[in-house]
Amino acid sequence: MSKTLAEKIWADHIVRSAQGEPDLIYIDLHLIHEVTSAQAFDGLRLAGRQVRRPDLTIATEDHNTPTLNIDLPIADPVSKLQVDTLRQNCAEFGVRIHSLGDAEQGIVHVVGPQLGITQPGMTIVCGDSHTSTHGAFGALAFGIGTSEVEHVLATQTLPLVRPKTMAITVDGVLPEGVTAKDVILAIIAKIGTGGGQGYVIEYRGSAIRALSMEGRMTICNMSIEAGARAGLIAPDEKTFEYVRTKPHAPQGADWDAALEYWKTLKTDDDAKFDVEISLKAEELAPFVTWGTNPGQGLPLNSSVPNPADIADIEERGAAERALTYMGLQAGAPLKSIKVDTIFLGSCTNGRIEDLRAAANILKGKKKADSVRMLVVPGSARVRLQAEQEGLDKVFIDFGAEWRNAGCSMCLGMNPDQLAVGERSASTSNRNFEGRQGKGGRTHLVSPLVAAATAIRGTLSSPADL
Amino acid sequence: MEKFVSHTGSAIPLRRSNVDTDQIIPAVYLKRVTKSGFEDGLFAAWRNDPEFVLNQPQYKAATILVAGADFGTGSSREHAVWALQNYGFKAVISSRFADIFRGNSLKGGLLTVILPQENVEKIWAAIEADPTTSVTVDLAAKNVRLGSEVYPFELDDYTRWRLMEGLDDIGLTLKNIDSVTAYESSRPAYKPKTLPVRS
């Protein structure tokens, strides 16, 4: 029977299937970080269980880690305890860990691909919803809770109900200045934050194929913001080439065998998706959110919407609350909005291409006096690469702060936070109330819009410069 | 895990949609390494507002949360489930839940009940008219009852059985561990390993 890509990967990982029960699915890679693992390791200890496959498990420190003075002990004692607990757990259970200061430390979803342990056709989980990022390689990758983290540690499997499948096709050529981030923000605005619930999304079409691996990661990363558990893109020559040069790529005969399998990883021509949606690349534009959920976004050239124009009562109420929280007036042009902070980073847009794209806009310019800009590479390796290319100097000359790797202001668990009422243009993934700091106001943008906004002090695209 | 067969208590209306996990428990509260003590972080930002429904004395004793659509969107933090449970909630009713939150809740014994929005509205109206209204969430009978009203809900038989028996998922999988070993023996050699470290 013909299958979609997600169905093929699912079928290849069924350990056990029984009538009336969820399928037991094998997990090829388990990524771990400090926030969602402590209670899982504790559960193992209480039950006298071991980590079944330390060789399919890897940990890094990212959510809590400071981006300044990383050679000093973590100042916040509670954050320090959580990171120390991860280190102790990894030592006790024999799990590989990349700690602060290590060249491979960084955001878990940046680390996996750069080590080459993210490969096509795998099942990948992590106690973090943005695990969907790894779907860019044609892997079935999704976030799990701490109970499931414990389950995977103990058994290397998860009992799961087979998800439905959704195809989102973007055909055509993206206009100049329109990035992967704009594409996914437009998709979320179209289908809503609940639109993907219960589905694995496969992104297809010529505009998706034309994206680099890093752009594809940006798209898949925000599948969760559309409510989907996972998003994926069929692997192609770009994918194979990206993996081939990484430390954990298969070698010799293993490479040949892997490649043969990877080339089968595409949706069959006559396979049926449960839902199909399509967008035209030519109609997309730089996108920005105005509200407090990632579905509340519009093209940057538009104005703040008037809640009175929204027919759905529930959505209208949400829009009214959002405008109050965001301190915005209906009808004001989005480009008139002044921001205080620019955050360039996160698992959505903290990779080398994102830094290059922003640096290219900022080079030789000075930031607006009214803004501060934080540049936080997604991993220590990305930071090193950027420094080799001289990007750090571009950012510093521009007036930005060049920081160490981690999740940083994306979720404000470390000291990098917005103050009450402060407004950011952020390349991260969530504009929820207080996400970047209590009372903080977030506008989600692409790295290009972040850079242009840093120059002008108001939400802007490079075309406005 | 504690068994869940049926629960009767009072309910609290949370008339908001898209209640994300950063609202249920902000990230700064996620630093504990235990599963308890998260109740202080529950809806932390909103609780600063004296008018917020959790601060209203008539709803202090509520054990059932009745929320707007798309409850639990956002991060995978199971701390959101723990915070609700630590605070005293036994069940959450909504017309739609985010997938990961729903999975986490059903693993941890917090019953998430999906009812059509029109029935959520009816329950809101009833518990706003009389906050002492007794609400029963009956997993055995698969319905929610208040007064003479009965609202049926669906839950797959396997999850329902597991919750009613209070069974540990890991224990259930370990009974089939031989099939895991068999699967592993046929995994292709090219699949990556994290150990030994390569650089």
User: What's the confidence (pLDDT) of residue A234?
Assistant: 98
Residue for token pair 């915070």:
B83
When pLDDT is cut at 50, 70 and 90, the band that residue B2 belongs to is confident
Residue among A156, A151, A159 at smallest CA distance from A41? A151
**CB-based contact B75 A261, cutoff 8 Å:** no
Please determine, for the modelled complex, whether the ipTM score is greater than 0.85. yes
What residues in A contact B184, CB-CB < 8 Å? 26, 156
User: What's the confidence (pLDDT) of residue A1?
Assistant: 84
What CA–CA distance (Å, rounded) separates B116 from A65? Answer: 42
**CB-based contact B22 A159, cutoff 8 Å:** no
When pLDDT is cut at 50, 70 and 90, the band that residue A297 belongs to is very high
User: What's the confidence (pLDDT) of residue B57?
Assistant: 97
The two structure tokens encoding residue A81: 């305890």
Report the residue of chain A nearest B190, measured CA to CA.
A254
Mean pLDDT (whole number) for A128-138 = 98
Share of chain B above pLDDT 90, in %: 98
Mean pLDDT (whole number) for B95-110 = 96
**Beta-bridge mates of residue B13:** B66
User: What's the confidence (pLDDT) of residue B199?
Assistant: 81
Q: Which of B31, B107, B183 sits opposite A79 (nearest CB)?
A: B31
Mean pLDDT (whole number) for B106-112 = 95
When pLDDT is cut at 50, 70 and 90, the band that residue B168 belongs to is confident
How many CB pairs below 8 A link A and B? Answer: 211
What CA–CA distance (Å, rounded) separates B94 from B92? Answer: 7
Residue A362 to chain B, least CA–CA distance (Å): 32
Mean pLDDT (whole number) for B95-102 = 96
What CA–CA distance (Å, rounded) separates B98 from A193? Answer: 9
User: What's the confidence (pLDDT) of residue A230?
Assistant: 98
**CB-based contact A143 B81, cutoff 8 Å:** no
What CA–CA distance (Å, rounded) separates A83 from A101? Answer: 13
In three-state secondary structure terms, B119 is: helix
The two structure tokens encoding residue B153: 């809900």
For residue A189, is pLDDT > 90?
yes
Q: Which of B75, B77, B192 sits opposite A117 (nearest CB)?
A: B192
What CA–CA distance (Å, rounded) separates A113 from A136? Answer: 10
User: What's the confidence (pLDDT) of residue A313?
Assistant: 87
What residues in B contact A261, CB-CB < 8 Å? 188, 190
pTM score of the predicted model: 0.97
**CB-based contact B33 A435, cutoff 8 Å:** no
For residue B146, is pLDDT > 90?
yes
Q: Which of B23, B104, B158 sits opposite A21 (nearest CB)?
A: B158
Residue for token pair 């390569």:
B198
**CB-based contact A64 B103, cutoff 8 Å:** no
**Beta-bridge mates of residue A96:** A58
The average confidence (pLDDT) of chain A is: 97
Q: Are strands A29-32 and A123-126 parallel, antiparallel or unpaired?
A: parallel
Strands (E), A320-439: 341-344, 372-375, 401-402, 423-426
Neighbours of A460 (CB within 10 A): 27
The average confidence (pLDDT) of chain B is: 96
For residue B100, is pLDDT > 90?
yes
Report the residue of chain A nearest B16, measured CA to CA.
A318
User: What's the confidence (pLDDT) of residue A84?
Assistant: 97
User: What's the confidence (pLDDT) of residue B102?
Assistant: 97
Mean pLDDT (whole number) for B22-49 = 94
Contact between A221 and A191 under an 8 Å Cβ cutoff? The reply is no
Share of chain A above pLDDT 70, in %: 100
CA angle, A327 as apex, A323 and A328 as ends, to 5°?
60
User: What's the confidence (pLDDT) of residue A195?
Assistant: 96
Contact between B180 and A26 under an 8 Å Cβ cutoff? The reply is yes
What residues in B contact A159, CB-CB < 8 Å? 169, 172-173
Mean pLDDT (whole number) for A114-141 = 98
